[in-house]
Amino acid sequence: MKKPRAIVITGPTASGKTALAVELAKLFSCEIVSADSMQVYRHMDIGTAKPSKELRQQVKHHLIDIVDPDEEYNAARYSKDAMEAVLNIQRRGKEVIIAGGTGLYIRALLYGLFEGPGADRELRKELLKEAEKRGREYLHRKLLEVDPDSARTIHPHNINRIVRALEVFYTTGRPISSFQREHGFKEERLTTVKIALTKPRHILYKDIDARVDRMMEEGLLEEVRGLLRMGYSKELKPLQAIGYREMIDHLEGRMTLPEAIRRFKKNTREYAKRQITWLRKEKGIIWFNPEQKEDIIHTVKAFLEES
């Protein structure tokens, strides 16, 4: 059976993915499947840089605003939801664009995902308690001892992935990275052209700072206040995301607003650096500066004509 096809638009935060995806969607009669781990959450609009309602009216977007912040959502669920969206779009005779900067979600969709041994809820609770008591970095150091390969790819603040990796090791005696190597992630489930946007580092960082300032002007602080007023815990995974956690630190008196904004910018720049590092390791990506619009359009046109 012929594999479904898709145009993948990725790149670090603030590289211009949304604008490019919308432009290509209009040119080539596409619908967009978001590949952003934060845009799935309702009530979190400003800090996740969701496409505006106007843009979403112009071009249909999928997998935005599909769960509440206290619902569990992960790469395995995304892989299933995104594949369903891709197939439905193609049944309607439209082309597909996968657009976003969450590399793990894109990989999960294209190659499937290693799910690993079942969850041990009690062990997970114990590990989370330990993280609360001793700090996330402590658990990350433990992971470094038993599974250095995974520890090098998981950020010390990503408590969910750290806990899952430790859970697999303690329940099986094997590092999760060894299971993942066996899975292989060899053959893509879609036929794709993969385009990544990049800019000179100093320009990207300037654009990140400008975007943070814009988010503050648009009311990010009030958005965070609203989420807490709605009863969502600050410990939830989405509220630990960059932008949200710095605003919570300010609201709880741990830092002034200017300090929180500076930290937000710094953490976003570091995140962009990690995104670039991840993408550099992925196969088959064609890198463009966002200004190379004609070259990008030519590349997409050739892909659609040939595949």
Angle between helices 220-229 and 244-251 (to 10 degrees): 70
Domain ranges of the chain: 5-114+185-306, 121-183
- The pLDDT of residue 212 is 98
pTM confidence score: 0.83
What pLDDT is stored for residue 221 in this prediction? 98
* Cβ within 8 Å of residue 218, ≥6 positions away: 46
121-183 maps to which CATH number?
1.10.20.140
- Sequence-distant (6+) residues with CB within 8 A of 184 are none
- Please name the residues in contact with 223: beta carbons below 8 A apart, sequence gap of 6 or more: 43, 44, 45, 46, 47
* Helix 159-172 with 121-134: angle, nearest 10 deg: 130
Per-residue confidence (pLDDT) for residue 183, from 0 to 100: 59
Burial label, 10 (beta-carbon count in 10 A; 0-12, 13-18, 19+): buried
Query: In the structure encoding, which two tokens stand for residue 89, read together?
Result: 């779009």
Residues 23 and 195: their CA atoms lie apart, in Å, by 14
The tokens for 199 are 């800019």
Please report, to the nearest 10 degrees, the dihedral formed by the alpha carbons of residues 131, 274, 106, 59 taken in order. 110
In CATH terms, the fold of domain 5-114+185-306 is Rossmann fold (3.40.50)
Question: Are the C-beta atoms of residues 193 and 286 closer than 8 Å to each other?
Answer: yes
Residues of the chain with pLDDT under 70: 1, 114-116, 180-186
